[in-house]
A and B are shown apart, each in its own frame.
Chain A
Amino acid sequence: MILSRGPKLCNFLEWRGLKVVYKRYASLYFCMCVDADDNELETLEIIHHFVEILDRYFGNVCELDLIFNFHKAYYILDEVLIAGELQETSKKSVARVIAAQDTLIEHAKEQSNSLSNIIAQATK
């Protein structure tokens, strides 16, 4: 549906009584489906907000980044939206939180690596 639309047309579509708001970034389309009474312009802003955060995290995000790191993209999404609602308007805060969680994972990995090393050595 969206792919068939021309470039100059407006970014809103009506579908099954709901609205689909989409924004195009190069070859990538970001779509959000919202209720009929939601503010469409704001939805566009939310999409942009999310994309900017992604950009900041991955550094010049491109499509491949998202494909190979989809789980990370999801983690970021979970920090931006819950229950379909925006939870954090500050990009810096989101970035900070994600960074903190990443560090946690790093630590845990290191720990498990060292643990398995010890075990492996112990059982050798």
Chain B
Amino acid sequence: MGTRLRDMIRSIRACKTAAEERGVVAKECAILRNAFKESDPDYRHRNVAKLMFIHMLGYPTHFGQMECIKSIAAPSFPEKRIGYLGLMLLLDERQEVLMLVTNSMKNDLGHTNQFIVGLALCALGNICTAEMARDLAPEVEKLLHSTNSYVRKKAALCSVRIVRKVPDLVENLMVPATGLLTDKHHGVLVAGVKLCTELCQTSEVAIEHFRKHVNTMVRVLKNLVISGYAPEYDVSGITDPFLQIRLLRLLRLLGNGDADISDTMSDVLAQVATNIEGNKNAGNAILYECVQTIMAIEAIAGLRVLAINILGRFLANRDNNIRYVALNTLVKVVSIDTQAVQRHRTTVVECVKDSDISIRRRALELVCALVNETNVKVLTKELVDYLKVTDPDFKGDLTARIAGLVQKFAPNKQWYIDQIILLMVEAGKYVTSDVTRSLVVVISNANALQGYTVRTLYRVFQAWDGQESFAQVALWCIGEYGDLLVSSENKLEGEEPLTVTESDIVEIVENALKDSRASSATVAFALTALLKLSIRLPNSADRIKALILEHKGSLVLELQQRAIEFGSILTKHNDLKGALVERMPVLDEARYYANNAMGIDGQQTTDIEALEPHANGHVRQPNAIEKPTAAAAAAAANLIDLLSFTDEPTTLSNSSGNALLDLLGGGPMGDANSASSPGGGDMFLDLLSSDGPAPLATTAAVPLEGLLDVEPIANTSLGNSSLNGGTPKGPPAIVDPIANISFGNLSLNGGTAKGPPAVVDPFADLTSTAMPAPASAPGLPSIIAMQTNGLKISFDFTKAVDAPKATVIKASYSNLSSNIYTDFVLQAAVPKFMQLQLEPATSGILSANSSNLVTQVIKLTNNMHGQKALVMKLRVSYKVNGNNVLEQGQVNNFPAGL
């Protein structure tokens, strides 16, 4: 028969260790299982109780579920009672077994004994599923009209749950619910009001319906407020605060958005607000609800002022609960009436420093909502001061908020930079990477402040404490603007003079390099900075070179690679150094923020990081590939803008952003590459383009070393023979090698690939190429693709009948000036849906005054023939009178039908 419930509980509590307890519980469970198997009716009550206790302790009790259900089906009250309780405790709405009780419940709902009905309603209201709700809703509705207030009350609350589970039933319940509002019994009223609230929350129709009955509610509320002492419902001097609060909430829902209704209730609201005393919790609860209601409805100004005053009083209250509640509400109020809240600003800032974390969080949120241009400096200062003393789990949150505020409201860039630097120093590791990145963007845009920035960073860096993000930004700036440090240019008013010698700068970078706290990312930044400095600080070049080469044997691939490549630049390619480490282009702020807003920040940042060391001419293949790209197109567009240092307005939209991607990989080979490499990496991979053509010869191959990720190979052949139109011609293409490579197996003007390399930034070449016009095909008029002062390029078209997508263009170049052009090279770029093949030109020399005509055959395939027209970008480079000339243009006037 087992022990009595009491004894079992006692024995469990007497256990000294967890293992002992498990033993006792296991024994009891075994006995219970046996009892349930035998289906013993006598002690079922006790057994289920025991089962519940064991469940509360946390042990599995699923074997008892059927027992509960049997209990419910039993006719006697005690068994039903314990059965329903067991049901509510041991099962939840996710169990399928629950369905089995539906029938028992139905019977119980129709029982004569009010308590049994109550039990069923209670259980239904607590754990019913949607199906059960649907099945039993009619019964419950009937009970809403019952004469018994006990039953009515429970039925109302049960309906609340039904509505939550099955919103469709709202219509059926609207009328009965209205009836409940006029009830005399407080319990029924409370439940009824709650039901109405739930209905209003679920459907608009209900709101309309109940608006007609606002007067009833107002009357009831008024009675409560002015009534005298009612012992049954009194709580610390206030009559039935629960009912008052619920009424207030319902009124809030009804008055929201409707001025007339709001008027009818403003009287009673004012009455409540003024009559209630604020020293008891019950009173405060009512006032709180009242304030919330006033703020949510269309209240008159006077009422709002009243509400805000109450909140102000709350805020000054010493009770933490009240202050919490006040802060919570003020956040909502701020959006409606900022002025009023500003008055309490100092108090709120005090709350940010409170010892209670809940209050701190609320206050912080409120402060962030309060910040505007006028008070941002003061508030930020307070917050940053607090940052120094706050505890770690709060620091991250606080840092993020401060950064956000500073970004949004910075009155001027200098202050912004100052604040972020301060932030990084104080809370280094909590500063996220987008904050540092936006700082970099701002710095690169603020030309006047660059000197100031780098000097400040330098000063602070000397006291570096190991914060990584700070180190990275500082190193980047020192690298970029090192010369400003030495020369003290661009001094701002009131700035202290700072004398920094070159060796100081190198030393500080060296310290960063050697510091054991520097992560490999930071060291990478430092190496790049050193390279830049080697140009800007000519006297320290040797020292810098030595420092860089120290990392040649680094175990981190990235560092090793950089060290070796930088080293070889410094040793062998001094002439190119200058071009490589020019100042970074100004990162487009507006676009950056727009992109951030679009949420592709992750993408953006990887690209900018990829660019940091890259944009100066080095492309590291592994890095380019490794960056996963989510929003490839957008990123590509950014990349292209970043790289296209030309003044040419980018006519690229996202889709044509992709166009350029493939531009670099025009031919089928290019497609293969772009298929294999994601987004931004595309660009670079295609630069390297080609399925690994052997690197160009040393001299021209300087940038290529990085490009091809191999040690410079001193061979001269272009590997992929088509590059040179079949025959490697003497000295390797000294033309901008990237331009050549970018066409992979496209045949370029191999023959004309002589002469000094284009001194343009190699990336500029990516954006356009020139495409001469071939002779026209019958029916396809020839066009003038490009015409400038000195040059005319015309296209003639031929189309094969059986291959509508392919077009053969014969491009003709003529020299309109009176000087000879030599080393004439034309490059072309086409959108993704087109493929391009260039054959070698007949000559690279254009004699003056159009005396000779150079032609070149271009084969074009339009994969979207019929859907999209051809477009093409051209870039021409040639030498005239010892000067290199670059021209570019876009061909838009292709005849239709190509």
Contact = CB atoms under 8 A, between A and B. Distances in A.
Interface in A1-25: 6, 8-14
A123 interface: no
A87 B358 contact: no
Contacts of B191: 85, 87
B439 interface: no
A67 B9 contact: yes
Interface in A101-121: 101, 104-105, 108-109, 112, 116
A41 interface: yes
B284 A93 contact: no
Nearest to A112: B76
B873 interface: no
Interface of B: 6, 9, 13, 42, 49, 52-53, 56, 76-78, 81-82, 85, 88-89, 115, 121-122, 125-126, 150, 153-154, 157-158, 160-161, 164, 186-187, 190-191, 194, 232-233, 235, 240-243, 245, 249, 281-282, 284-285, 288-289, 292, 319-325, 355-359, 361
Given A39-B288, A74-B89, A87 B321 contact: no
A33 B190 CA distance: 20
A120 to B, nearest CB: 12
A4 to B, nearest CB: 10
12 contacts: A8-B320, A10-B356, A41-B288, A41-B322, A45-B281, A71-B52, A75-B85, A83-B125, A83-B161, A85-B160, A86-B242, A93-B187
B245 A42 contact: yes
A105 B81 contact: yes
A40 B115 CA distance: 32
A71 B85 contact: yes
Given A68-B6, A89-B187, A83 B157 contact: yes
A82 B187 contact: no
Nearest to A91: B232
Contacts of B13: 67
A31 to B, nearest CB: 15
A82 B78 contact: no
Contacts of A112: 76
Given A10-B320, A10-B356, A87 B190 contact: yes
Contacts of B160: 83, 85
Contacts of A86: 190, 194, 242
B241 A10 contact: no
Given A70-B56, A83-B157, 7 more contacts: A40-B325, A41-B284, A67-B13, A82-B121, A82-B158, A86-B190, A108-B76
A34 interface: no
Contacts of B81: 75, 101, 105
A49 B78 CA distance: 26
Contacts of A62: none
A63 B147 CA distance: 39
A90 interface: yes
Contacts of A61: none
Contact of B242 (A10, A11, A13, A46): A46
Contact of B49 (A71, A83, A116): A71
Contacts of A40: 321, 324-325
Interface string A41-73: 110111011000000000000000001101100
B157 A9 contact: no
Contacts of B121: 82
Nearest to A41: B285
B245 A39 contact: yes
Nearest to A104: B77
A90 B285 contact: no
Q: SS class of chain B's interface: helix, strand, loop or mixed?
A: helix
Contacts of B85: 71, 74-75, 78
A109 B249 CA distance: 45
Nearest to A71: B49
B115 A42 contact: no
Q: Which 5 A-B pairs have the closest CB atoms?
A: A10-B320, A41-B285, A82-B157, A83-B161, A82-B125
Contact of A105 (B77, B232, B325, B357): B77
B51 to A, nearest CB: 11
B288 A9 contact: no
Contacts of A78: 85, 88, 122
Contacts of B56: 70
A6 B359 CA distance: 14
A109 B45 CA distance: 11
A13 to B, nearest CB: 6
Given A68-B6, A105-B81, A89 B356 contact: no
Contacts of A91: 232
A89 B242 contact: yes
Nearest to A36: B328
A87 B52 contact: no
B477 to A, nearest CB: 40
Nearest to B149: A93
A65 to B, nearest CB: 12
A43 B473 CA distance: 50
Contacts of A109: 78
Nearest to A21: B321
A62 to B, nearest CB: 14
A44 B281 contact: yes
A45 B242 contact: yes
A14 to B, nearest CB: 7
B509 to A, nearest CB: 45
A69 to B, nearest CB: 9
A83 B190 contact: no
Contacts of B359: 10
A39 B249 CA distance: 10
A87 B157 contact: yes
A90 B232 contact: yes
A89 B249 CA distance: 17
Contacts of A46: 242
Contact of A11 (B153, B186, B321): B321
Given A39-B289, A78-B122, A105-B77, A92 B232 contact: yes
Given A10-B324, A45-B242, A71-B49, A101 B115 contact: yes
Contacts of B76: 108, 112
Contacts of A87: 153-154, 157, 187, 190-191
Nearest to B76: A108
B770 to A, nearest CB: 60
B188 to A, nearest CB: 9
A83 B127 CA distance: 8
B8 to A, nearest CB: 10
B321 A44 contact: yes
Contacts of B320: 8-11
Contact of B281 (A41, A67, A89, A97): A41
